[in-house]
Amino acid sequence: MDTVIGVIGGSGVYDIDGLEGAEWVTVDSPFGAPSDALLTGTLDGVTMVFLPRHGRGHVHSPSSVPYRANIDALKRMGVTDVISVSACGSFREHMAPGDFVIVDQFIDRTIAREKSFFGPGLVGHVSLAHPTCPRLGAACTTAAIDAGITVHDGGTYLAMEGPQFSSLAESKLYREVWGCDVIGMTNMPEAKLAREAELCYASVAMITDYDSWHPHHGEVDIGQIIATLQGNADKARDLVSRLPALLGNDRNPCEHGCDRALEHAILTAPDKRDAGMVAALSAVAGRVL
């Protein structure tokens, strides 16, 4: 199987540079329109597909991002490995603005989003014990180091609904009681849906601020965030540009089983499955349906 790298760009990252044969492609999904058209091309001989999570011009809030359509569209484009790039706040002094964190765990506090491709008529349960792919995360860490980025390998991401930032009490709860490392608004349900779609998923969290817990930095300053975002976006593009050489064009089955997550996940008997849902999931779950 050939490697196809999908990149979901977060705040400040609306395209990627250097793609050969670059073309914006419109993809239809049974789950609605994705955030935007998808930018396709090749880099170092590896096919890449880029999707701006918020759309070009940043038209989607974290709650309005069409997460199911985005993951479905990437799957329809043949993507095998998804790199999620997103802005976040930090709960740790040593994880400073401008640093990157390769997230390996999540706590999902979002409340207003469709979180699964499955439901009544086609019931499926996947494991999220380890919600990111260690192989893909390791490649992102190596790419960050090679790019001269200060990177932290591993961290727990608190996914909040937003669009408001945390209160001081919330920030202290997430940091001191729950032990989270970073906070953001977009990696959930994205990571859950990627697992359901049998896609390897890695999260590159770009720190912009210290949320509101830090006694010497006060509340989140949107002006500071935007300034840091600009520098982080350049670093993110540098990181992404190094991934094709690290991942290669020939892809073996994932040693962690991400690409076989649905092997025993669907519980609804074949003769009881909703025909409309089966059709809608032709890309996401076609391998097992």
Task: Look up 211 and say whether it is catalytic.
Answer: yes
Which of these is catalytic: 209, 221, 234, 271? 209
**Is 271 annotated in the active site?**
no
Of 35, 39, 70, 73, residue with least CA distance to 55: 35
Per the CB < 8 A criterion, the answer to whether 49 and 79 are in contact is yes
Distances (CA, A) of 112 to 119, 247, 248: 16, 35, 38
Catalytic residue among 211, 221, 250, 271: 211
CA gap 52, 67 in Å, rounded: 12
Q: What are phi and psi of 131, to 5 degrees?
A: -75, -10
**Cα separation, 97 vs 170, whole angstroms:** 20
Q: Which residues contact 130 (CB under 8 A, 6 or more apart)?
A: 104, 256
Catalytic residues, which ones?
A: 209, 211
